[in-house]
Amino acid sequence: MILKNVCFYNELFEKEVADIEIENGRIKAIGVIDGAGRDMSGMLALPGFVDIHIHGAAGGDCSDASTESLEKISVYLAKHGVTSFCATSMTLGHDTLMDIAKTVHAYAGREAGAKIAGINLEGPFIAMGKKGAQNPAYIRPGTVAEFNDIDSASGNMVRLITIAPEAFGSDDFISAVSKKCAVSIGHSAANAKEAQHAFDLGASHATHLYNAMTPMTHREAGIAGTALDNDKVFCELICDGGHVCPAVLRNTFKILGENRACVISDSMRAAGLGTGEFELGGQKVYVREGGRYAVLEDGTIAASISNVFDEFKNLLSYGIDLKTALKSCTINPARAIGADKKIGSIAPGKAADLVFTDGEFNIKEVYINGILA
């Protein structure tokens, strides 16, 4: 298939006009290509968006451990410009996490929409005092053996795991597990010294920056400030306008630049469904009228109900430059999980994941592996 006269953002995230040839689900060539094809004039092509932290959407949750739920999420995401995602679990019992891992492994490759790029284990090795909406009944010390069990059950699909380094003897865990996937600090009360030690051992990521972690003050950097201060650490940001206020987001992007932010949804099954009562990790959560996120009964923020493409448009409205916003939704998260050779930008050899929009970034068409979704 040849797409003619495509106005797109290339692998340098600069605007270019060229033909794109797609073969066997991948981009074969970009340039002036002989042969007939579909004229894409009048639309703008963006790389397929990548959400590395999403629990659910459209009534399905990754923790349901069901292919039906994964299918709902996959189809929903494709409609919203997200072409790859990490199925994200919560703090749950060992047997449940094993079931989730097996289900994701069995479903991967059969998606009806967005592709599963891996598994994100958000917990269970976190801090009780920073549990947020995680179920305290299942919080426990981390062991390499349990991680290996889950990763093995998934067919080695775990790409990211969140831990609280101060909550257990984590040195050996970080040293061993960081060789297999990205280790992220989150749901943690670690101080700056403890956070830096974890980064020195191999942790390379911060889970939903500012939320469920020690904050940065003028006297103590906390996890947030320590992550920002480390040039090799990727920082997740929920950009729904509620989890982190726009002014803080603007300041954060000034520090992170264009290569370190990973925009995530952190959404749960209520995404796309409106108001109501829902279940998240065995707990009741609520989406109120006009709410931008789900909350626990006591009002604690539980999860987002947004999606990464809408958050991309939020960033533009907050004054974040287009290149930085786009990279933060595509190549940066792909790089954070080691998938940037396959997804995250428009380049020869990569998956033909393309999001076509109008000039106002309203989605018109989405291609996943070269197939119209």
Rounded-to-integer distance, Cα 353 and Cα 144, Å: 35
The secondary structure of 148-163 as a DSSP string is HHHHHHTTS-EEEEEE
Q: Is residue 289 marked as binding?
A: no
Residue found by looking up tokens 């290149």 in the block: 323
Q: 327: which 2 tokens?
A: 């990279």
Q: Is residue 187 marked as binding?
A: yes
State the DSSP H helix or E strand holding residue 286, giving kind and residue range, or none if neither. Answer: strand 283-287
358 is catalytic: no
Spell 37-56 as b/e; 16+ CB within 10 A means b: beebeebbbbbbbbbbbbbb
Tell me which of 61, 151, 266, 353 is the catalytic residue: 266
Strand partners, 267: 304
Nearest to 266 by CA among 203, 224, 215, 209: 209
Task: Give Cα 174 distance to the centre of its chain.
Answer: 21
Q: Is residue 208 marked as binding?
A: yes
How far apart, in Å, are the Cα atoms of 184 and each of 4, 145, 148, 282?
Answer: 41, 18, 17, 23
Which residues are the active-site residues?
266
Indicate the annotated binding residues for Zn(2+).
122, 187, 208
